[in-house]
Amino acid sequence: MRKIYLTLALLLAIVFGADAQRAKSVILIYLDGGPSQTDTFDPKPDTSRDYYGSYKGVAKTNVEGIEIGEKLPLLAGMADKYSLIRSMTHGSNAHETGHYAMITGDTSGGAIVYPSFGTVISYMKRDTYKGVLPCYVSVTSANSRFNEGGFLGNEYKSFDTGGRPEKTEYEVEGIVNKFVDREGLNRRMSLLAEFETLPMDKHEIDSLRAVNMEFIWGESREVFNLANEPDSIRQRYGMTRLGQSCLTARRLVEAGVPFVNVRTTGWDTHKKHFQFMNSMLPNLDKAVSALLADLDSRGLLDSTIVLCGGEFGRSPKIMWEPPWNGGRAHFGATFSYLVAGGGFHGGKVVGKTNKTGEKVVERPVRPCDLIGTVYMLLGIDPYGTLPHVSEGELPILPSLLDKKQSGGLLYEIIDIKKPDYEK
Amino acid sequence: MKKTIFIIIAYLSCVAMQTQASAQCSDEVFLRRAYLTVTGSMPSAQTAAKFLDDESENKRERLISRLLNSELCFKYMQMRWGDILRIKSEFPSNLWPNGVQAYNRWVYEHLMNNTPYDQMVRDLLLSEGSNFRAPAVNFYRGFQKRSPENFYANINLLFLGNRKCSDNGHLCFSQVKFKSTKEWKEEIIYLDIHKSVPTQRIVLGDGTTLSPKQDTDWREEYVRWLTSPDNRRFAEVMVNRMWYWVFGRGIVHEPDDWRADNKPSDPALLARLTDYFIKNNFDIKKLMKKILLSKQFASKAAPEGFYTPQRLPAEVIVDALASVTGIWNTYNSRVPEPFTFYPPRTRATHLGDATVSSTELELFGKVSRDVSLEGQRNNSISARQLLYLMNSTVLEQRIRKSGILKKICEENTTLPQLADAITLRILSRRATAREKQMYEKYMQQNSLTLRDLAIDMVWTQINSNEFLYNH
């Protein structure tokens, strides 16, 4: 039976060629502030208290040989669904440059400001994506440390939902206005139509307003209405901001949205690191495991890339001394990313760090390698170009062209074969 | 025959242009246009009423003079300069909050004192010292890659409108060096004065040869050439930029893309204004006044007249929404350190730091100051912006909670009074008879109270083109 499937898959691959991409959407769960890799996806239990702190053990996963942090038992039960990159590195220890590197795949220091990869994907899909919902949605707010539009401008940046998905009423900005019902808005629109006398951009503005009416009262409203979801599912994600944001992300992807950014803050734990981890990791564990399981059971994981990580990691060595009294510092030399779905294999580990987790010893992965692989899975050429207003066409990922800035695309955890020219 | 037809056509288009330019806009339009252009803010209801009721002949000129000398004007122009100087705490300029504050103050003082343009540019480019104490040096700090080539490319873009420069004038900036201090984020910009003079001949785009001397500041010779009245391009670029700031379209367009094949749309106009600017010793305020008192600025909006309506810049819309409701946003920035907390009622146009933003500002296209191009400001209208105005809970709450709007409702107990008061506040004019009838019908059909009507009236007006555009 298995053989038949394989043959079928092979046939399909031949028919559709290398262009047949599986991924349709991306969910980025962004742990803003920089999460500790040694307490999550790259545990080092054989080190001393100076590194491992108050944690004692690890969580053995359902994949032989893979262990993750002891505070992530639910994710440990499903390691076959995701892979871990333990050798992420960009070397930057400052939030702004770390964010920039991780979200654009570019290295900072050049004169050109690159757009975030969500913006790039939104730009690339501008002609093919026809949904009513925006192409790029941030639940609940976008990353704020730099302008995500970069040289592509503001047009392709994310729609930020605002509101609180964990509350009874998720007031999505512009969609849910509890003061005005459908009749009320219709009434106002007719008054406005009569009031409007100035002709500029009239045709365009009228049609944009009509699109908005469809957006407010159409499918989108229901997508954001989490009350449509059975209580058991809501509970499974956790009734936290992160949990309900991940649930929103699933609903958006189900509705066809190509890029969803779930941003969660509070990971910049210079002080009281372990207290924070003890309260935050169970929420993360719950939310991400529920998302992966839910996507999988709906057959969406195959076409949805899930990424989870921050702008950098945290120092494996704990700062016990005052004023930190048990904190971890910014750390860009090594950090981890979880990747799943959309063509990424599950149950694999990419790269390796040394005994203390402070150095990459095997297969460094740079931000451009991860983002380039995501592009490839989406059918976007990672060696393609983007238009710049004054500089002409620029490479979509300049760092990928520089051997010193790239460790190579992640061919080891996807089905696409490495082309000869890259060998 | 052909010649005759040509002459007739030429004559007719001349006549057409004359009528176009002479179709004067109303006082209501002029007042609002002048305020939004010069100060980035709307006139208050009282100011509007006073101006409209003023019957003196020269009231437009008096208005322009008053506005040009107002704090609001200096602050708004500071924003324009901040955009092209890329004043920003964080990435990519990384000037840091203290540097941003000092740099903004430097710009502000020059605008307030109306420093001649050539002098201002000299101060900027010949600066030396600490980024916190000699603010103009931030010009040299705001680059991800601090190289003479990058400084020079930016100088060419800002002051000569060249997007590409092929000459080797950058050598004049090769003495600029940076030295850190023990103070957090303080840096000294100094000149390596003993560097040996370049062996290469420095030849500028127009053929001028510079020969910097050993043990001197080589920038001086370049800056003397740049800011000289003989270097007409220097004056032209500023004249054209000011025209662009006022009309949203340069005589040469884009205003920072001067090329032989990018011709001015009206060469005579550019020449006249440039002569005026040079003759008046690069007086920026006089130049601005000249443009604001031109027939073009007083003309009706297209297609009847010359003036092309422009969607208001992000900061201006956000401030206008705040001033309508009297509920102002609070701005702060917790990154980078030191934390910055702006006083309550700070206008978005006065923030001075592109790192400080809000969802609302981002939505309407606040400039991120990544590049020095004017075109970075995107003032086109989008579905999401209209969505926000149509159906945002945040905005709706501000309208409903607004104490000022409540007070207006209490003080104006008849529909015509109420309509006048609200329209003066939001659109700087009184309501027309047609509008009053419209509201009357609307109120009756939907059996609304005056208070309900007031809320829908505010909603309608802030959604209207008349509010969103400078027209």
The complex's ipTM works out to 0.90
Rounded distance between C-alpha atoms, residue B401 and residue B397, angstroms: 6
N residues, chain B: 471
Closest CA to A54 of A269, A268, A266, A272: A272
Q: Using CA atoms, how far apart are residues B30 and B232, in angstroms rounded to an integer?
A: 32
pLDDT of B16 above 70: no
Average pLDDT over residues B285-296: 98
Strands in B176-219 per DSSP E: 176-180, 187-191, 202-203, 209-210
Looking at the complex, does the CB of residue B255 fall below 8 Å from at least one CB of chain A? no
Which chain B residues in 156-185 lie under 8 Å from chain A, judged by CB atoms? 163
Strand partners for A314? A330
Residues 6 or more apart in contact with residue B14 via CB below 8 angstroms: none
Burial of B200 (0-12, 13-18, 19+ CB in 10 A): exposed
At residue B465, the pLDDT reads 94
pLDDT bracket for residue A5 (50, 70, 90): very low
**Which residue on chain A is closest to B432 by alpha carbon?**
A195
Mean pLDDT computed over A210-217: 92
What does DSSP assign to residue B95? -
The percent of residues in chain A predicted with pLDDT above 90, rounded, is: 79
Backbone angles phi, psi at A361, to 5 degrees: -110, -15
Joined together, the tokens standing for residue B65 give: 């003079």
Residues of chain A neighbouring B248 (CB-CB closer than 8 A): none
Quote the CA–CA distance of B446 and B208 in Å, as a whole number: 74
CA distance B271 to B239: 10
pLDDT-wise least confident of A351-355, A406-410, B198-202: B198-202
- Of A11-15, A373-377, B320-324, B396-400, give the lowest mean pLDDT range: A11-15
A210 min Cα distance to partner chain B (Å) = 9
Least confident among A381-390, B47-56, B126-135, B422-431: A381-390
Locate the chain A residue with the closest alpha carbon to B149: A111
pLDDT in tens, B166-187: 899 999 999 999 999 998 899 9
- DSSP code for A230: -
Residues A291-345: tens digit of each pLDDT:
999 999 999 999 999 999 999 999 999 999 999 999 999 999 999 999 999 999 9
> What secondary structure letter does DSSP report for A319?
B
CA distance A255 to A241: 21
The lowest-confidence range among A2-16, A334-348, B133-147 is A2-16
Q: Which of B28, B86, B460, B471 to mutate to test the interface with A (most CBs of A within 10 A)?
A: B460
Q: B90 to chain A: which residues are within 8 Å by CB?
A: 96, 145-146
Contact A162 B370 (CB under 8 A): no
For B333, the 3-state DSSP assignment is strand
Confidence bin at B2 (pLDDT 50/70/90)? low
The pLDDT of residue A19:
45
| Residue numbers in A near B309 (CB within 8 A) | 198, 200
**Given a cut of 60, is residue A418 above it in pLDDT?**
yes
Q: How many CB atoms lie within 10 A of CB A30?
A: 23
Among the partner residues B144, B386, B465, nearest to A208 by beta-carbon distance: B386
**Quick check: A236 and B411 in contact, CB under 8 A?**
no
pLDDT tens, residue by residue, A74-121 = 999 999 999 999 999 999 998 888 999 999 999 876 768 899 999 999
Q: What is the band of B371 on the pLDDT scale with cuts at 50, 70, 90?
A: confident
Nearest of A284, A246, A247 to residue A68 by alpha carbon? A284
* Average pLDDT of chain A to the nearest whole number: 91
> What distance in Å separates residue B445's CA from the closest CA in chain A?
10
The mean pLDDT of B309-332, rounded to a whole number, is 96
Task: Test A178 with B393 for CB contact under 8 angstroms.
Answer: yes
Q: Which residue of B has its CA nearest to A111?
A: B144
Per the listing, tokens 């809000």 go with: B358
Q: In whole numbers, what is the pLDDT of chain B averaged over residues?
A: 93
Determine the Cα angle at B14 with ends B12 and B20, to 5°: 105
Between B75 and A150, residue with greater pLDDT: B75
Confidence of residue B10 (pLDDT cuts 50, 70, 90): low
B221-248: b (≥16 Cβ within 10 Å) or e: bbbebbbeeebebbbbbbbbbbbbbbbb
pLDDT at B9: 55
Whether the pLDDT of residue A373 is over 90: the answer is: yes
Share of chain B above pLDDT 70, in %: 95
Give the nearest partner residue to A209 out of B362, B390, B393, using CB atoms. Answer: B390
In angstroms, the separation between the Cα of residue A207 and the nearest Cα of chain B is: 9
CATH architecture of A2-176+225-422: 3-Layer(aba) Sandwich (3.40)
Query: Shortest Cα distance from A84 to chain B (angstroms)?
Result: 30
Taking a contact as any Cβ pair under 8 Å apart, which residues of chain B between 411 and 470 contact chain A? 435, 438, 442, 446, 456, 459-461, 463-466, 469
| Facing A194 at nearest CB: one of B257, B391, B438 | B438
Nearest 5°: phi and psi at A365?
-120, 120
Mean pLDDT of the region A388-413: 92
What is the distance between the alpha carbons of residues A65 and A84, in angstroms, rounded to a whole number?
Answer: 13
Domain locations along chain A = 2-176+225-422
A58 SS3 class: strand
Phi, psi torsion values for A29, nearest 5 degrees: -95, 105
pLDDT in tens, A176-199: 998 999 999 999 999 999 999 887
CA-to-CA distance for B294 and B275, rounded, in angstroms?
Answer: 16
User: CB–CB of B34/B43 below 8 Å?
Assistant: no
Please report residues of B whose CB lies closer than 8 A to that of A192. 459-460, 463-464
Quick one: average pLDDT of B413-421? Answer: 98
The CA distance from B234 to the nearest CA of chain A, in Å, is: 21
Q: What pairing do the DSSP bridges indicate for beta strands B340-341 and B332-333? A: antiparallel
Judge whether B362 is closer than 8 Å to chain A, CB to CB: yes
Per the confidence metrics, is the pTM higher than 0.90?
no
Q: Do A134 and B384 count as a contact with CB atoms less than 8 A apart? A: yes
Q: Which of A94, A45, A49, A33 is nearest to A326 (CA)?
A: A49
Of A27, A29, A61, A26, the C-alpha closest to A43 is: A61
Judging by DSSP bridges, how do beta strands A25-31 and A259-264 pair with one another?
parallel
Query: How many helices (H) and strands (E) would you count in chain B?
Result: 22, 9
Using the predicted structure, report yes or no on whether residue B13 has a pLDDT greater than 60: no
For residues B257-271, average pLDDT: 97
% of chain B beyond a pLDDT of 90 = 84
Domain ranges in chain B are 4-70+311-470, 115-226
- The minimal CB distance from B465 to the residues A108, A151, A196 is found for A196
Segment holding A262, helix H or strand E = strand A259-264
Measured distance CA(A292)–CA(A290) in Å, rounded: 6
Whether the predicted pLDDT of A11 surpasses 70: no
Select from A106, A191, A391, A394 the residue whose CB has the most chain B CBs within 10 Å, as the one to mutate to test that interface. Answer: A191
Cα separation, A416 vs A115, whole angstroms: 26
Per-residue pLDDT at A4: 47
- CA distance linking residue A242 with residue A281, whole number of Å: 11
Residue B210 bridge partners (DSSP): B202
Dihedrals phi, psi of A175, to nearest 5 degrees: -105, -50
User: In chain A, what is the greatest distance between 2 CA atoms, to the nearest angstrom?
Assistant: 74
Given A111, A162, A177, which is nearest B396 (Cβ)? Answer: A177
Residue at B204: amino acid letter: L
| Residue A174 to residue B388, Cβ atoms within 8 A | yes
Hey, is the C-beta of B262 within 8 angstroms of any chain A C-beta? no
Do A263 and A139 form a contact (C-beta atoms < 8 A)? yes
Segment among A155-159, A291-295, A357-361, B14-18 with least mean pLDDT: B14-18
Which amino acid is located at B330 in the chain? T
Beta carbons of B378 and A180 less than 8 Å apart? no
Contacts of B466 in chain A (CB under 8 A): 196-198
**Calpha distance B394→A127 (Å, rounded):** 32
Residue A108's pLDDT is 72
Residue B3 — very low, low, confident or very high, per pLDDT cuts 50/70/90? Answer: low
Tens-place pLDDT, residues B339-349: 889 999 999 99
CA pair distance B443, B420, nearest whole angstrom: 16
Q: Which class for A293: exposed (0-12), middle (13-18), buried (19 or more C-beta within 10 A)?
A: middle
Q: Return the pLDDT at A146.
A: 67
Average of per-residue pLDDT across B13-28? 67
Query: Does B304 lie at the interface with A, CB-CB under 8 angstroms?
Result: no
Taking the CA of residue A395 and the nearest CA in chain B, the distance in Å comes to: 18
Instruction: Compare CB distances from A153 to B144, B378, B460 and report the shortest one's residue.
Output: B378
| Mode of pairing for the β-strands spanning A330-331 and A313-314 | antiparallel
pLDDT at A10 over 50: no
pLDDT tier, A31 (very low <50, low <70, confident <90, very high otherwise): very high
Token readout for A263 is 């941003």
| Assigned token pair, B287 | 């130049």
Please compute the mean of the pLDDT values over residues B66-79 and round it to a whole number.
Answer: 98
Name the strands in the sheet holding B187-191, side by side, starting at the edge strand that comes first in the sequence. B129-130, B187-191, B176-180
CB contact under 8 A, A180 and B388: no
pLDDT tens digits, A217-263: 998 899 999 999 999 999 999 999 999 999 999 999 999 999 999 99
- Using a CB-CB cut-off of 8 Å, the residues of chain B touching A187 are 442, 446, 456
For chain B positions 338-357, those within 8 Å of chain A (CB to CB) are 354, 357
| A122 touches A136 (CB < 8 A) | yes
Chain B: give the shortest CA distance to residue A194, in Å.
Answer: 8
How many angstroms separate the CA atoms of A146 and A148, rounded?
A: 6
- A18 band by pLDDT with thresholds 50, 70 and 90: very low
Partner residue opposite A195 with nearest CB, options B375, B376, B460: B460
Instruction: Indicate the burial class of B194 (C-beta count within 10 angstroms; 0-12, 13-18, 19 or more).
Output: exposed
Q: Which among B417, B416, B400 has a CA at the least distance from the CA of B451?
A: B400
Residue of chain A with shortest Cα separation from B377: A153
Confidence tier at A2 by pLDDT (50, 70, 90): very low
B92 neighbourhood in chain A, CB within 8 Å: 108, 113, 146
Confidence of residue B156 (pLDDT cuts 50, 70, 90): very high
Q: Cα dihedral angle (B32, B33, B34, B35), rounded to 10 degrees? A: 50
Q: Which residues contact B451 (CB under 8 A, 6 or more apart)?
A: B409
User: How far apart are alpha carbons B37 and B51 in whole angstroms?
Assistant: 17
